[in-house]
C-alpha cells in the first residue's frame, strides 16, 4: 500500500505532509498520482516516499533483507526499472525513514544501500522524521551514518521536548542536542498546523520566539508542517513563511 499521508513534498524551506489517501498498487489506482508527482517535480519540488509510520507491524530482519528492500524501492519507485511500478512513469526523488515501531536494526544498512544508487545517475535523497527525544529509538542509529540529506524532527506529541504554554526551553534544548549530535545536510523543525495537536506553536510565537532561537544553526533548513490539510484550513504557513 502507498499512503500519501507519508509522502513528504519538499517545497522551498517549508515541507508539507499531505493528508492521508491510500492507494492500492495491484488495482492500479496509484497511477492516478503519476501526473501530479511529475507536475510537482517540474516546479522543482522533490517528492519523497516515506517508509514506516505510527501504525502496523514492520521491521528489517537482516542485512540481506535491507538489500532486498533497497532493490525493490529502487526498481519500483526510484530510478530503476520494473514491470510493476505502482506510480507508472513517475520517478520519485528519494526515501524517507519514518520508523516508529519494531526495531532499529538494519536501517543503517538500508540507508547505505539506497545511497549507493546515487552513483547510477539519479541522486537518491534520504530523509528521516525522528521523534524529538534524542536519540530517536528507531531511526537514531541510522542517522549516525551521516548519509541523510534532510532530517525533519517531530517536535509534537512529545511532551518532554516540544513547545508548551509559551515556553520554548525544552524545544530549543532538544534542537541544540540534535544539531550538535548528527550529521545531515539540513535539519527541519517539525510542527503541527492545528492547535488540536500537542506541541502546536502559535504563528506569532514561532516567528518571535522559536525561530530566532534556532536559526543560528548552520544545519537549520526550515520547518516541516503536519499536515497539509490543517495548513490549508488554518493558513499556518502563510502566516510564518516570511520568517522561515
pLDDT (0 to 100) of residue 132? 98
Domains of the chain: 2-243 (3.20.20.80)
pTM score over 0.75:
yes
What is the dihedral sign for C-alpha 219, 225, 228, 233? Answer: negative
What is the predicted pLDDT for the residue at 19?
Answer: 42
Which range (28-42, 133-147, 214-228) has the least confidence? 28-42
Rounded CA gap, 71 and 38, in Å?
22
CA 93 to chain centre: 12
| 121 band by pLDDT with thresholds 50, 70 and 90 | confident
Residues 88-105 have pLDDT tens digits of 999 999 999 999 999 999
Q: Which of 93, 96, 100, 231 is catalytic?
A: 100
Active site residue 100: yes
Question: For the chain, how are helix, strand and coil distributed in percent, rounded to 5?
Answer: 40, 20, 40
pLDDT tens string 55-96: 889 999 999 999 999 999 999 999 999 988 999 999 999 999
Amino acid at each position: 500500500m502507498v499512503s500519501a499521508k507519508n509522502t513528504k513534498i519538499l517545497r522551498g524551506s517549508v515541507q508539507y505532509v499531505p493528508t492521508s489517501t491510500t492507494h492500492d498498487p495491484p488495482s492500479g489506482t496509484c497511477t492516478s498520482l503519476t501526473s501530479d508527482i511529475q507536475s510537482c517535480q517540474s516546479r522543482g519540488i522533490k517528492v519523497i516516499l516515506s517508509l514506516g509510520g505510527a501504525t502496523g507491524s514492520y521491521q528489517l530482519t537482516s542485512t540481506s533483507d535491507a538489500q532486498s528492500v533497497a532493490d525493490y524501492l529502487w526498481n519500483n519507485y526510484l530510478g530503476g526499472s520494473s514491470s510493476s511500478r505502482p506510480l507508472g512513469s513517475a520517478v520519485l526523488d528519494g526515501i524517507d525513514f519514518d520508523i516508529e515501531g519494531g526495531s532499529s536494526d538494519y536501517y543503517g544498512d538500508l540507508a547505505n544501500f539506497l545511497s549507493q544508487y546515487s552513483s547510477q545517475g539519479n541522486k537518491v535523497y534520504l530523509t528521516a522524521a525522528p521523534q524529538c527525544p534524542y536519540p530517536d529509538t528507531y531511526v537514531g542509529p541510522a542517522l549516525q551514518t551521516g548519509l541523510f540529506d534532510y532530517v525533519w524532527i517531530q517536535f509534537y506529541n512529545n511532551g518532554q521536548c516540544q513547545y508548551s504554554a509559551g515556553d520554548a526551553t525544552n524545544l530549543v534544548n532538544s534542537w541544540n542536542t540534535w544539531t550538535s549530535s548528527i550529521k545531515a545536510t539540513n535539519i527541519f523543525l517539525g510542527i503541527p498546523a492545528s492547535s488540536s495537536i500537542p506541541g502546536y506553536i502559535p504563528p506569532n510565537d514561532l516567528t518571535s520566539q522559536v525561530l530566532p532561537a534556532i536559526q543560528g544553526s548552520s544545519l537549520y533548513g526550515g520547518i516541516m508542517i503536519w499536515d497539509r490539510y490543517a495548513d490549508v484550513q488554518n493558513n499556518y504557513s502563510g502566516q510564518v513563511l516570511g520568517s522561515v
